[in-house]
């Protein structure tokens, strides 16, 4: 038999989609999965078979029996019906991890999400007047109460907030910024690019490491709209440096009848220097300095949902609300629900520190981390001490999310080594577990930082190692 004939004969033995659909096992599957998905899995599977037969792989007839086709279809179906957005275990010790979803919500915020999303609400309805209202009122009062701001507006995220502020106040005009503050934030958000899109012209002054008040002053001209300070949240300039303090910048702007705007980036409400961290400016301090507008994220140090919070003078906030861009950047009701619940926790700082996961993780005391690291170590030794070595070690966590760069927070990690698996093999295996476990490697040792892990995560890691050794 010629090769071609042999291949054609094998291809003929391959079942058709219609035939496969009649298999009893497939009929069972159709009860549980959408028909369209099952069809895709069958087609993909048969196509792959056909292709490998045509390519005349070593044994073209292998794997065309019903049993192996069925198991291939099931595998493909499992892959097709998987969620793409899934929970992961963050064992990196980076608390506001930009790639792993930034902040976790407080239980109070989750409860509020449930209530507001499963019911109609007064999202845009004024209950006292019985007529159309504004969604922007819902977080405004509490933001003013907590920060001392005259007025507030919340949009989709902080990049949107910066865009809206500059578009409203400086379109076609100049914005003076220090060269040391022209930052790029992960995901290709560059302050200069956003400025350009807002229609404002960037006028950078000073040098990378030093900018003086006179640098701003000399750049002021009849086209200047505002002076802007950008918090260099994700990097540090060390050594011979100078930055103009916000109050001085505000004073200079106001002496020239200009506005002063600060992009605070992370935007904390609590001074974390009480917990041994470096001083980060709080939103309250920015307002106190007299700045006209300040913007920051809802899901960085604040520990709430993704949002862009704008605080400022009443007349300016009113202008932002009227800008058509606001509609394009508008905040969703779920975000508002979670944000209001998060903000309420800040009425008592101790409650905020206890209930908001981001703050709780940042301020977790060493004694607690030690106890938890020992527990994780013992759990893992129980199941995998034969092939792995687990030790508790000192290391450092990071706040992340563009807050407190270079700030190392002492922590305890479980360091994992093995004669059988190297660190990158351990990393890859844990990363492909369900749910995925994301740790980090340092000096060829795989590390799990307990600061960003909870008890459920411990159980997940234990199951992963149980699977690894079995
Ligand atoms: C993070 C950050 C932003 C962007 O905030 P998003 O909420 O991610 O849009 C803008 N400016 C600074 C200084 C930041 O740190």
Residues near ligand 1 with C-beta < 6 Å? 157-159, 162, 185, 189, 230-231, 233, 263, 265-266, 297, 308, 402
Q: Which atom of ligand 1 is nearest to the CA of 297?
A: 7
Q: Is 8's pLDDT higher than 90?
A: no
Each residue's pLDDT tens digit, 196-226: 899 999 999 988 778 899 999 999 999 999 9
Q: How far is the CA of 181 from the centre of ligand 1 (A)?
A: 13
The pLDDT of residue 58 is above 60: no
- Distance of CA 112 from the midpoint of ligand 1 (Å): 25
Say what the pLDDT of residue 123 is: 97
Cis peptide before 435 (omega within 30 of 0): yes
Percent of the chain at pLDDT > 90 equals: 79
Q: Is the pLDDT of residue 445 over 80?
A: yes
- Compute the residue count for the chain: 470
Alpha-carbon Rg for the chain in angstroms: 28
Q: Which atom of ligand 1 is nearest to the CA of 264?
A: 13
Are 423 and 430 spatial neighbours (Cβ–Cβ below 8 Å)?
A: no
Q: Which atom of ligand 1 is nearest to the CA of 308?
A: 7
C-alpha span between 405 and 401 (Å, rounded):
9
* For range 263-288, the mean pLDDT: 91
Domains, the chain, in order of start with CATH, read 3-81 (no CATH), 89-96+362-469 (3.90.1150.180), 107-355 (3.40.640.10)
Least-confidence region, from 148-162, 195-209, 415-429: 195-209
Residue whose Cα lies nearest atom 6 of ligand 1: it is 158
Residue 235's pLDDT is 61
C-alpha 190 – ligand 1 centre gap (Å):
9
Range list of β-strands (E), 50-160? 89-90, 94-96, 125-126, 131-132, 151-155
pLDDT of residue 241: 75
Per-range mean pLDDT, top range of 1-10, 122-131, 397-406: 122-131
Of ligand 1's atoms, which has the minimum distance to the CA of residue 233?
A: 15
Q: Whose Cα sits closest to atom 11 in ligand 1?
A: 265
Write the pLDDT tens digit of every residue in 233-251. 666 666 777 788 999 999 9
Mean residue pLDDT of the chain comes to 92
pTM score of the predicted model: 0.92
Q: Kindly give the distance from the C-alpha atom of residue 264 to the centroid of ligand 1, in angstroms, as a whole number.
A: 8
Calculate ∠ Cα 188-190-192, nearest 5°: 150
Q: Which of 101, 162, 185 to mutate to test the pocket of ligand 1 (most atoms within 8 A of CB)?
A: 185
pLDDT of residue 23: 93
């Amino acid at each position: 038999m010629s090769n071609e004939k042999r291949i054609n004969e094998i291809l003929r033995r391959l079942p058709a989609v219609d035939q496969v659909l009649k298999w009893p096992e497939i009929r069972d599957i159709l009860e549980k999965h959408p028909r369209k998905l099952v069809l895709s899995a069958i087609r993909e599977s048969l196509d792959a078979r056909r292709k490998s037969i045509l390519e005349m792989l070593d044994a073209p007839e292998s794997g065309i029996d019903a049993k192996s086709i069925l198991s291939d279809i099931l595998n493909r179906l499992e892959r097709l019906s998987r969620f793409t957005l899934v929970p992961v275990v963050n064992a990196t010790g980076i608390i506001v991890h930009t790639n792993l979803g930034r902040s976790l919500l407080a239980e109070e915020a989750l409860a509020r999400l449930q209530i507001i999303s499963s019911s109609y609400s007064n999202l845009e309805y004024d209950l006292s007047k019985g007529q159309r209202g504004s969604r922007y009122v819902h977080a405004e009062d509490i933001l003013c109460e907590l920060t001392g701001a005259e007025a507030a507006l919340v949009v989709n995220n902080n990049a949107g907030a910066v865009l809206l502020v500059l578009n409203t106040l400086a379109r076609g005009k100049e914005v003076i910024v220090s060269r040391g503050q022209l930052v790029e934030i992960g995901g290709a958000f560059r302050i200069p690019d956003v400025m350009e899109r807002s229609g404002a012209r960037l006028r950078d002054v000073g040098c990378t490491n030093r900018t003086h008040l006179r640098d701003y002053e000399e750049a002021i001209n009849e086209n200047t709209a505002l002076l802007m300070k950008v918090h260099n949240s994700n990097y540090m300039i060390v050594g011979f440096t100078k930055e103009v303090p916000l109050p001085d910048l505000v004073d200079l702007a106001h002496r020239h009848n200009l506005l002063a705007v600060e992009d605070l980036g992370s935007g904390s409400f609590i001074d974390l220097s009480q917990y041994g961290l470096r001083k980060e400016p709080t939103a309250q301090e920015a307002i106190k300095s007299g700045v006209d507008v300040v913007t920051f994220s809802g899901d960085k140090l604040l520990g709430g949902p993704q949002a862009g919070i704008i605080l400022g003078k009443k007349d300016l906030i009113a202008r932002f609300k009227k800008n058509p861009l606001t509609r394009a950047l508008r905040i969703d009701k779920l975000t508002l629900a979670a944000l209001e619940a998060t903000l309420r926790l800040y009425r008592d700082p101790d409650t905020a520190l206890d209930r908001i996961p981001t703050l709780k993780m940042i301020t977790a005391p060493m004694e607690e981390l030690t106890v938890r690291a020992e527990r994780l170590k013992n759990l893992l030794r129980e199941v995998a001490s034969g092939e792995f070595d687990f030790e508790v070690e000192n290391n450092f966590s990071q706040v992340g999310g563009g807050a407190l760069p270079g700030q190392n927070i002492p922590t305890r990690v479980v360091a994992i080594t093995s004669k059988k698996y190297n660190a990158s093999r351990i990393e890859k295996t844990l990363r492909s577990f369900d749910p995925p476990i994301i740790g980090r490697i340092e000096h060829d040792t795989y590390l799990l930082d307990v600061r960003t892990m909870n008890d459920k995560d411990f159980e997940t890691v234990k199951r992963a190692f149980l699977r690894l050794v079995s």
